[in-house]
């Protein structure tokens, strides 16, 4: 692709943003042209979020200048950014669950008929027309709470598109979408680009970035490393620029190095939830990473919740190293050595308004307290060990967890879940929304856990991740485990064929 010839609609000159004495980004020069998809890549904590929050008015820069359409921006506020024509779809959804789809799509619009009366018919007609842009076939009168996570993500995107932005910022826009929804979004972005909208695209999915973008800017440690025209670029080249270190030593298959007997550590037999017609049975042994893969709506999320006692079940048992349980709770399983990593780090597992030390203390209060007083020396030792082992970049005592990058939040959750070596670690979406470097480090931690004789039951919607980690993969569709694949049977094509229904059960 050739670089865009139009003058930039957006330009940053020497932008620096400090929080206290710490620079989040420093001396950034950046521009985006009309009709361009300009991707912004970097590890979590590289400065991507700070950069786009300045553009959309959430932060004012500590130093430097921002120009929009050739004029210097002097007022930094979300309202002023919207007036300029800047819209942003953030990674964390901000839809209103209690409102209808139509009301979410046009929250500030007034559909009136003669006499000034509100017209629900016109509102619904406009909403249906908007949904058609993404081939989204839903009842626009439904409350958003009834939608799938992927549908909610598309409603969020459409709401921004409805504002007719001149600059559209997308932060991980496909993270919750299935392949069909992702394809519809790509088609919409191509239409927006043809209509001279400038699109700033943040994603950790490098193949996606290479397929969509005209130019790519790489951030690392708060500084711009490169801006590249997307011609003859490779994934390895971009990863090297993003992380600044070699990740090859962190890659490899699971289970290597475990020399003990691979006896069953965790087994489910005849598990069936309310309203489910198919019973599920599976097992994971010491030294193994076993994966469960399925497309959205296949039942994998519900199965992961049932296995750890977060959803009720109608029948079935689990066995932990031969001990049969007919009823169980998350706390009881934890006491028996089964730990769980939740799919959404911001809804479970972390206290976002507390610092790293306080989060580390919360699950250990009984062991760290004597006569009602917290042993801060022992806590500091635990936190220092976790930061070193899990590669967490944080200031333990003066940085709230909500201000950590996604990758560091995820590694903190891992450190809390793995505070002692588990018999089985049930992990749901371990690397969702984290950068390529953190992803490699988390994969390495899971492989080490299996190599040391632990067991991992992995639920992930990222097929390359599943194939990279798991030595056995169960494929699920419509609440039923269709197949068990092992060794050379595991290929992306075969797994996807079973998951999508293109291959017979077996």
The total of other beta-carbon atoms located within 10 Å of residue 286's CB is 21
Q: Which conformational region is residue 319 in: left (phi greater than 0), alpha (psi within -120 to 50 degrees), or beta?
A: beta
% of the chain at pLDDT higher than 70: 90
- 182 pLDDT above the threshold of 70: yes
CA pair distance 241, 8, nearest whole angstrom: 25
Look at residues 90, 132, 45 and name the one whose alpha carbon lies nearest to residue 393: 45
Tell me the torsion sign for CA atoms 459, 465, 471, 473: positive
Residues 6+ apart with CB under 8 A from 472: 284, 288, 290, 291, 484, 485, 486
- Strand segments, DSSP code E, in 304-376 are 315-320, 323-325, 338-341, 369-370, 373-374
CB-CB contact of 386 with 413 (8 Å): no
- Regarding beta strands 480-486 and 472-477, do their DSSP bridges make them parallel or antiparallel, or are they unpaired? antiparallel
CATH entry, 249-337+420-506, from 3.60.70.12, 3.40.50.300, 1.25.40.20, 3.20.20.70: 3.40.50.300
Q: Which residues make beta-bridge pairs with 220?
A: 223
CB 134 within 8 A of CB 154: yes
Per-residue pLDDT tens over the stretch 342-360: 876 655 667 788 888 888 8
* Amino acid 288: pLDDT: 94
pLDDT band at 255 (very low <50, low <70, confident <90, very high): very low
Taking alpha carbons only, the member of 165, 243, 161 closest to residue 204 is 243
Q: Which residues pair with residue 291 across a beta bridge? A: 458, 473
Total-model pTM: 0.64
Domain limits, CATH 3.40.50.300, in the chain = 10-248, 249-337+420-506
Which helix (H) or strand (E) covers residue 16, if one does? strand 10-19
Q: Measured between alpha carbons, how far is 451 from 287 in angstroms, rounded to an integer?
A: 6
Length of the chain: 506
Residue with tokens 């490169």: 226
Residue closest to 412 by CA, chosen among 367, 342, 356, 478: 356
* Whole-number pLDDT of residue 58: 93
The pLDDT tens digits of the residues spanning 124-145 come to 888 898 898 888 888 999 998 8
Q: pLDDT: is 367 or 186 the higher one? A: 186
Residue 156 has pLDDT above 70, yes or no: yes
pLDDT tens for each residue of 25-42: 999 999 999 999 999 998
Predicted confidence band at 268 (pLDDT cuts at 50, 70, 90)? very high
Domain 10-248 falls under CATH 3.30.420.40: no
């Amino acid at each position: 692709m050739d670089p865009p010839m139009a003058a930039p609609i957006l330009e940053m000159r020497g932008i620096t943003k400090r929080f206290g004495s710490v620079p989040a980004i420093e001396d950034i020069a950046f521009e985006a042209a009309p009709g361009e998809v300009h991707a912004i890549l970097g590890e979590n904590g590289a400065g991507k979020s700070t950069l786009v929050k300045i553009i959309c008015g959430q932060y004012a820069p500590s130093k430097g200048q921002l120009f929009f359409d050739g004029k210097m921006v002097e007022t930094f506020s979300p309202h002023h950014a919207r007036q300029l024509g800047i819209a942003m779809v953030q990674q964390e959804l901000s839809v209103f669950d209690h409102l209808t789809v139509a009301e979410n799509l046009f929250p500030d619009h007034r559909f009136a008929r003669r006499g000034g009366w509100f017209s629900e018919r016109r509102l619904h007609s406009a909403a249906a027309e908007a949904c058609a842009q993404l081939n989204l076939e839903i009842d626009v009168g439904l409350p958003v709470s009834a939608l799938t996570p992927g549908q909610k993500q598309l409603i969020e995107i459409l709401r921004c598109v409805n504002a007719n932005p001149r600059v559209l910022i997308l932060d991980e826009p496909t993270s919750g979408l299935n392949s069909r929804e992702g394809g519809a979004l790509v088609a919409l972005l191509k239409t927006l680009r043809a209509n001279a909208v400038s699109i700033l695209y943040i994603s950790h999915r490098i193949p996606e970035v290479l397929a969509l973008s005209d130019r790519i800017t790489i951030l690392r440690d708060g500084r711009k490393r490169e801006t590249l025209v997307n011609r003859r670029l490779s994934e390895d080249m971009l990863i090297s620029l993003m992380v600044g270190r070699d990740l090859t030593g962190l890659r490899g298959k699971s289970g290597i190095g475990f020399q003990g007997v691979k006896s069953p550590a965790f087994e489910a037999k005849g598990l069936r939830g309310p309203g489910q017609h198919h019973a599920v049975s599976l097992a994971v042994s010491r030294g193994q990473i076993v994966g469960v893969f399925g497309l959205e709506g296949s039942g994998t999320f519900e199965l992961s919740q049932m296995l750890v006692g977060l959803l009720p079940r109608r029948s079935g048992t689990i066995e932990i190293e031969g001990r049969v349980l007919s009823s169980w709770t998350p706390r009881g399983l934890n006491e028996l050595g089964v730990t769980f990593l939740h799919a959404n780090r911001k809804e479970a597992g972390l206290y976002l308004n507390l610092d790293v030390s306080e989060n580390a203390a919360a699950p250990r209060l009984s062991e760290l307290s004597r006569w009602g007083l917290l042993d801060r020396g022992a806590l500091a030792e635990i936190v220092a060990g976790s930061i070193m082992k899990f590669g967490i970049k944080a200031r333990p005592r003066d940085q709230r967890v909500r201000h950590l990058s996604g990758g560091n939040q995820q590694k903190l959750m891992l450190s809390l879940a793995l505070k002692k070596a588990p018999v089985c670690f049930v992990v749901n979406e371990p690397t969702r929304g984290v950068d390529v470097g953190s992803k490699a480090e988390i994969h390495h931690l899971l492989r080490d856990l299996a190599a040391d004789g632990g067991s991992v039951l992995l639920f992930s919607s990222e097929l390359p991740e599943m194939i990279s980690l798991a030595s056995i993969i169960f494929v699920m569709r419509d609440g039923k485990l269709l197949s068990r694949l092992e060794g050379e049977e595991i290929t992306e094509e075969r797994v996807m064929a079973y998951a999508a229904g293109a291959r017979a059960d077996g």
